[in-house]
Amino acid sequence: MNATVLTIIIAAAVFLLVLSSLIVFFTFRARKRKELVVKKSFERHGAPTGVGIDDVRKPDVSERKERKEGKGRLYAFGVVIMGIFGTLAMRLWSLQMISGGSYQRMAEENMTSEASIPAPRGRILDRNGKELVGNRPSLCVTAAKRVVEEPVLVNLLSLILGMPRGVVRRNLLDDTLGAQANRVIATDVPMKTVAFIKEHPRLFSGVEVVERTVRTYPYGSLAAHVLGYIGPVTTTDLNLPGQAVLYEGDDYIGKSGAELAFENVLQGIRGARTYRVDVDGNPIALLNESPPKNGSDVCLTIDRELQEATDKIISDIISSSHLRGFPYADAGALVCIDIEDGGILASSSYPSFEPEKLANGASTEHWEELTRKGSGDPLTNRVIAGLYPAASTFKAFTSLAGLEYGIIADDTHFNCNGLWEAYGKEWGQRCWIYPSGHGTLGLEEAINQSCDIYFYNVGASFYERWEEAPEEDRPDNLQDFLKTWGFGSETGIDIAGEAGGRVPTAAWKRDWNSETPEGGQWQPGDMTNMCIGQGDILVTPLQIANGYAGIARKTMLKPHIFHRVLNDEGEAVINNTPKESEIQPAINDAHIARVEDGLQRVIRRMGGPFNELPVSVAGKSGTAEVASAKADFSWFVAFAPADEPKYCVACLVEQAGDGSSAAVLGVQHTLAKLYDVDIGDIIVTQGSRER
Amino acid sequence: MSPVQPKIEAPRSPGASPAMRGIVKRLLAVVNVPLLLVLAALTAYGLLIVNSATLNDTDSSFSFSHQLVGVAIGAVVMLILWRIDYRRLSVFIVVMLVLDFLLILSPLLPFIGVTVNGAQSWISLFGQRIQPGEPAKIITIVAMAALVSKYRGKLDSGKEYLKCFGLLMALLLAIMLQPDLGTGLVFFAIGLTILFAGGASWKWIVLTLFVVAFVIGLVIYLDPILDESFGSDVLLKEYQKDRLLVFMDEDLDPTGVGYNLRQAKIAIGSGGLFGKGLYQATQSSLGFLPEAPTDFIFCVLAEELGFMGCVLLLTLYAALIGASFWVALKADDPFGTLIVMGCVGMWVFQILENIGMTCGLMPITGIPLPFVSYGSSFMLANFMALGLIFSVWSHRSARTSGHERVAMEE
């Protein structure tokens, strides 16, 4: 306000000066001057040139008329001027009084600019607090898209970043971060290069150095499928309902695994700074700041050490299988469940990938490499999304079904001579031991020896029950029972991408073969095959593990990888609570005891490394025949200790032959790791044809 | 617009001596006090806004003290002109016209001519940048007034009208050599006002307006055709076309060619009723508003002082013009009347165009706002105009009281 006063004083001073000069100028010499002027005027021009002199004499009539007309014109001109001033005033009224508010907002928008402060994403830890996914700052060189049109700058960038020109150009054209976003040319740029760029802003117009937080995976591809990866937020992500976080265009968001499952916890909330800016967008003053809120750390139920072991086990089994005549064994799954609460202690899917390469902006080539045909689908988590015939591992559940429906009584025995022709010679089905036979077997031995014919008989009884019922009300007793053990639907694990599998029924078969009605007929073979886990039944390794855990625990729980959420101080703020499955199987302790007896006999009979474990184990092998495959799929599932179950491990190896030769190694070595026993290297032996 | 009643009689102060009363009476007879007060208020108001605009402006080429110097020089020149009997000037028509052309063409001379924003409107003398077009306006007023006053309020002859109009056109052509469309338009406004007030017959005035409208239409029509056949801007410059397009569609390209108008309107509109306060304009101080101290100074005023500030300015202008009208009406001879009307025409056109362009009523042209815009040459021109008006007032015969007139007749 000092300046205001100053201005007024200066203006006033100027006019005081003017006024005083005037007084001096006119007042004291007025009279003299007047006479002089008039005289001079006469002297010089002889005749008066101005009207002033004319006024002295009397003006004639015409002259007076002209004067009047002239005045009329002046008044007309005055009216025009008034109109102009009125128009201006009205326009100003409309701008300032009527639209003033909206212009004030525009002026405000003009001069404020919001910059958001990214919030670090929460880390992902194992159950013991070991970091599985972390963050680290990385200096990135980014550039506006238009830079691609400046060959000199592209050359320069290629030179100082030590990248081929083609790569620089390609990165500049890459629009995975959005068409308008700056393109990331290089990440993890050394400080020296950054300094050079910052010292030469003119050379590098359009180029920016930004510090980004990138995701780090200290153990490489460890538990890759469980951890998942993040990626730039897309429009589809933004439109997903029920979001706790408001995303911005350059946010990274969980795309799979735990990163996706716990997105709302891991994602921090961006802070914001409001600046006053000038016309060039340069911040002048900080008006407001709200600090970012870090994302919370999430502990998974995964045990890093065990996970490391299972990752190695599954890959060792596969490489060993290659040496043992199973060249097509190229994929597998291994999962270990904590029976007490359903937590996943380890989950390995082979082949795997490196999440770090995907999380920090995957290149198009890398994506193609992972998704092209023949890549072996490394991105698929076979534990939850791999669908396989359950094979003989299923016999535990069909046993329980037989017991539940009284098909298998205490003394029910069936005879096995290798070939089962209950529905006639043309419908004959073989036991795996054919041309030999098992002889007469009770349930426990049938499980132990995995006798197919025993279970064909169980299946046949279920078929009869179905067939005998009136056509409009035929019960799917077996299927309904199997479904209560979690088959045919998702287990409800807390990571996305789970497959539900399939439990075939007559109705399903009719729909499935709706184009060929005769093929849609429910046959006894459908039932008998289902009882040995073949035919149209499809399960995931997780369903098998979870089902066996259910048998051991006598309750079905939803498996989970969520352990707890930690606050900034590392204290647990949210702990997982075990969740029971919505549908619970009918539990009969006597029935379960008989099945467990059978399962324990399997392990006792197999002996070998199982004998070296300090606990007794119950388990079952499986050898799945898959029509399109070149070799059988190898299954094994077991839980331990048998008397007080704690861990359940399921293993599947694609095209690796018998369950008792390949997959069993996965279970054995996982249990050996759990009980800290050394059982030697993983060597697949060409096992017996036993299932 | 009610003419302000000049107080010829001194206030009755019983204690004042007769001698003192005589001095005051004589002073009031020669000085048009209302006009002087309006001038003081307008100049102070203008300086205040210029101070704010130059303080805020990020461009350091504008200095407030420079403007003060302009005002001081202007005041001195005003006093000199005031002192001179305007009637003496009427004999110098030829001298004035030669001087006028010299001034207008001087920026085209080598060494002293300076090009700013694509127009050669400036000369550089002793390190000072001067815009000779500004004083040339005043000389044009006097010259045109002297020429037209010879017809004693009756300009019926087409030949005579064409003579005067031709002179005006010659001046315009000289200005368009710079080229400076804004100043040219002011010249045209001055000329037309003087011709109209000088009694040019209605038919010539109307015909002139028609011809002007026709020529404008022809230029707009022919411009694209000529541009195409010659491959360069022939009649209208690219920016002039853009300004016309923006004038037609206010929301056109708000970040490009429509930027100036949009920012100007934001500045004015955001002022509201009372404004953001002196020195608080964000639009100009943060650089959003272009040319804030010169052509867009009205936006600074409107933003800082709001609608009230704008109304005050318009009121002061109205008072200035009203008082000038009074002088024009009371002038002894057509010459005096026409000088005053020329000045009025100049001011009105500049006010209309400058305020009008900032709020979208007129196309954007570089025309400053009288007594407010930054620029010492411009300030000088405004004070010269007032000097002439004061001269007309002070040298009218009616100011003389009874006994003096008698004395004169003897």
pLDDT in tens, A38-51: 444 444 444 444 44
State residue B142's pLDDT score. 94
The arithmetic mean of pLDDT across residues B13-40, rounded, is 75
- Given A66, A73, A95, which is nearest B269 (Cβ)? A95
Question: Which residues, in sequence order, are CB contacts of A385 under 8 Å at separation 6+?
Answer: A497, A498, A499, A540
B307 vs A92: CB contact, 8 Å cut-off?
yes
pLDDT of res. B33? 84
pLDDT of residue B407: 39
Q: How confident is the model at residue A634 (pLDDT cuts 50, 70, 90)?
A: very high
- Confidence (pLDDT) at A437: 87
> Above pLDDT 90, what percent of chain B?
30
Provide the number of structural domains found in chain B: 1
B287 confidence band (pLDDT: 50, 70, 90): confident
Residue from the list A45, A91, A102 with its beta carbon closest to the beta carbon of B359? A91
pLDDT at A57 over 50: no
Residue B145 lies in a domain: yes
- Element housing A662 (H / E): none
**pLDDT given at position A368:** 83
Is the pLDDT assigned to residue A184 strictly greater than 90?
no
pLDDT score recorded for residue A39: 47
Chain B residues with CB under 8 Å of A82 CB are 1
B406 domain-assigned = no
% of residues, chain A, pLDDT over 90: 40
Distance CA A683, CA A234 (A): 46
Read off φ and ψ for residue B200, nearest 5 degrees: -60, 140
- Percentage of chain A exceeding pLDDT 70: 86
Q: What is the pLDDT of residue A66?
A: 63
Q: Which of B197, B267, B288 sits opposite A73 (nearest CB)?
A: B197
The reported pLDDT for the residue numbered A23 is: 63
Average pLDDT in chain A: 84
CA distance linking residue B52 with residue A544, whole number of Å: 81
Average confidence (pLDDT) over B233-262: 80
The answer as to whether B329 is a domain residue is: yes
- Spatial distance between the Cα atoms of B106 and B177, rounded to a whole number of angstroms: 11
Taking 50 as the threshold, does the pLDDT of residue B383 lie above it?
Answer: yes
Lowest-pLDDT range of A361-365, A488-492, A620-624: A361-365
Contact A97 B288 (CB under 8 A): no
Contacts of A92 in chain B (CB under 8 A): 268, 302, 307, 310-311, 355, 359
Fill in the amino acid letter for A605.
R
| CB atoms closer than 10 angstroms to residue A651 | 34
- Output A6 or A410, whichever has higher pLDDT: A410
Contacts A–B by Cβ distance under 8 A: 238
Interface contact A84-B43, CB threshold 8 A: no
Mind giving me the DSSP string for B316-362?
HHHHHHHHHHHHHHH-SSHHHHHHHHHHHHHHHHHHHHHHHHHTTSS
DSSP result, A570-587: S-EEEE----B-SS----
For residue A19, give the chain B residue with the closest CA: B36
Q: Exposed, middle or buried: residue A176 (CB in 10 Å: 0-12, 13-18, 19+)? A: middle
Average confidence (pLDDT) over A261-272: 86
Name the 3-class secondary structure at A471.
helix
pLDDT of A47 reads: 44
- Taking the CA of residue A198 and the nearest CA in chain B, the distance in Å comes to 26
Minimum-distance CB partner of B307 among A26, A81, A97? A97
Residue A54 reports pLDDT greater than 70: no
Tokens 């003192």 appear where? Answer: B20
Q: Residues 6 or more apart from A303 whose CB is under 8 A from it?
A: A126, A127, A128, A345, A346
Q: What pLDDT is stored for residue A520 in this prediction?
A: 83
CATH topology classification for A114-300: Penicillin-binding protein 2a (Domain 2) (3.90.1310)
C-alpha triplet A267, A121, A188: angle, nearest 5°: 140
Q: Which of A23, A39, A51, A64 to probe the B interface (max B CBs under 10 A)?
A: A51
The full set of domain ranges for chain A reads 33-77, 114-300, 391-486+503-536
Mean pLDDT of B302-319: 94
Of the residues B87, B261, B304, the best mutation for testing chain A's interface (the one with the most A CB atoms within 10 Å of its CB) is B87
Burial of A302 (0-12, 13-18, 19+ CB in 10 A): buried
List of chain A residues whose C-beta atoms are within 8 Å of the C-beta of residue B52: 3
Instruction: Return d(Cα A556, Cα A580) in angstroms, integer.
Output: 6
Residue written as token pair 């886990």 = A533
Nearest CB to B268; choose among A15, A69, A96: A96
Of A12, A95, A101, the CB nearest to B44: A12
Which of A18-22, A172-176, A284-288, A640-644 is predicted with the least confidence, judged by mean pLDDT? A18-22
Which phi and psi angles does A182 have, rounded to 5°? Answer: -65, 145
Residues of B in contact with A52 (CB under 8 A): 87, 332-333, 336, 395-397
What are the chain A neighbours of B288 within 8 Å (beta carbons)?
Answer: 107, 110-111, 279
CB A123 within 8 A of CB A165: no
Please give the pLDDT value at position A594: 93
Alpha-carbon distance B71 to B382, whole Å? 9
pLDDT tens digit sequence for A284-334: 778 888 888 888 999 999 999 999 999 999 999 999 988 888 888 889 999
Name the closest residue on chain A to residue B279, using Cα atoms: A1
Considering only CB atoms, B397 lies closest to which of A55, A73, A92, namely: A55
Structure tokens belonging to residue A455: 């279970």
pLDDT confidence band for B15 (50 / 70 / 90): low
AA letter at B375: G
What's the pLDDT at B402? 40
Domain that holds residue B292: 52-200+237-396
Q: Hey, what are A374's tokens?
A: 């023949």
Give which of B85, B156, B330, B396 to mutate to test A binding, by max A Cβ within 10 Å. Answer: B85
Q: Find out whether B182 and B352 touch, Cβ atoms under 8 Å.
A: no
Instruction: State yes or no: pLDDT of A445 exceeds 80.
Output: yes
Specify the higher pLDDT residue, A600 or A366.
A600
Band (pLDDT 50/70/90 cuts) for residue A217 is very high
Nearest Cα to Cα of residue A230 among A201, A184, A263:
A263
Q: Inter-chain contact A53–B397, Cβ cutoff 8 Å?
A: yes
pLDDT band at A130 (very low <50, low <70, confident <90, very high): very high
pLDDT digits (tens, 9 = 90+) for A144-154: 878 888 888 88
Query: Are the CB atoms for A170 and A244 separated by under 8 Å?
Result: no
> How confident is the model over B171-195, as pLDDT tens digits?
998 988 877 888 899 999 999 999 9
- Option in B78, B287, B348 nearest A278 (CB): B287
Mean pLDDT within A100-127: 84
Chain A partners of B334 at a C-beta cutoff of 8 Å?
Answer: 51, 70
Contact B91 A45 (CB under 8 A): yes
The torsion angles phi and psi of B251, rounded to 5 degrees, stand at -95, 10
In chain B, residues with a C-beta closer than 8 Å to the C-beta of A45 are 91
pLDDT at A245: 61
Q: What is the ipTM of this complex?
A: 0.89
Which of B332, B350, B362 to mutate to probe the A interface, most A CBs <10 Å?
B332
Select from B335, B346, B397, B406 the residue whose CB has the most chain A CBs within 10 Å, as the one to mutate to test that interface: B397
Q: How far apart are the C-alpha atoms of A253 and A255, rounded to whole Å?
A: 6
User: According to the model, what pLDDT value does residue A109 have?
Assistant: 81
> Is B283 close to A107, i.e. CB distance below 8 A?
yes
Q: pLDDT over 70 for what percent of chain B?
A: 90
Q: What is the structure's pLDDT at B1?
A: 41
Closest chain B C-alpha to A134 CA, distance in angstroms: 43
Is-contact A550 A485, C-beta < 8 A?
yes
How close does chain B come to A197, measured CA to CA in Å? Answer: 28
Q: What pLDDT is attached to residue A55?
A: 44
Quick check: A279 and B286 CB within 8 A? yes
Q: How far apart are CA A12 and CA A27, in angstroms?
A: 22
* Strands (E) located in A556-663: 562-566, 572-575, 618-624, 633-640, 647-653
Task: Identify whether A641 is preceded by a cis peptide bond (ω within 30 of 0).
Answer: yes
Q: Do A96 and B269 touch (CB under 8 A)?
A: yes
Closest CA to B171 of B220, B201, B203, B132: B132
pLDDT tens, A357-407? 888 766 777 888 888 888 888 999 999 999 999 999 999 999 999 999 999
Lowest mean pLDDT across A325-334, A556-565, B149-158 = B149-158
Q: Which residues of A touch B72 (CB under 8 A)?
A: 14
Lowest mean pLDDT among A311-315, A337-341, A386-390, A627-631: A627-631
Contact A100 B90 (CB under 8 A): no
Residue B22 has pLDDT above 80, yes or no: no
Res A13: pLDDT: 65
Determine the pLDDT at residue B404.
44
Nearest CA in chain B to A39: B408
Which neighbouring-strand residues pair with A219? none
Q: Let me know if residue B287 belongs to a domain.
A: yes
- Parallel/antiparallel/unpaired status of strands A124-125 and A297-300: parallel
Mean pLDDT of B281-300: 82
B-chain CB neighbours of A37 within 8 Å are 85, 395
**Mean pLDDT over residues B230-241, rounded?**
75
Q: Work out the burial of residue B283: count CB atoms within 10 Å of its CB; fewer than 13 is exposed, 13-18 middle, 19 or more buried.
A: buried
Cβ-defined contact of A107 to B267 (cutoff 8 Å): yes
User: Is pLDDT above 70 for B152?
Assistant: yes
Most confident of A112-116, B349-353, B394-398: B349-353
* b/e per residue A114-137 (b: at least 16 CB within 10 A): eeeebbebbbbbbbeeebbbbbee
A276-280, A686-690, B133-137: which has the highest mean pLDDT?
B133-137
Mean pLDDT (whole number) for A165-170: 84
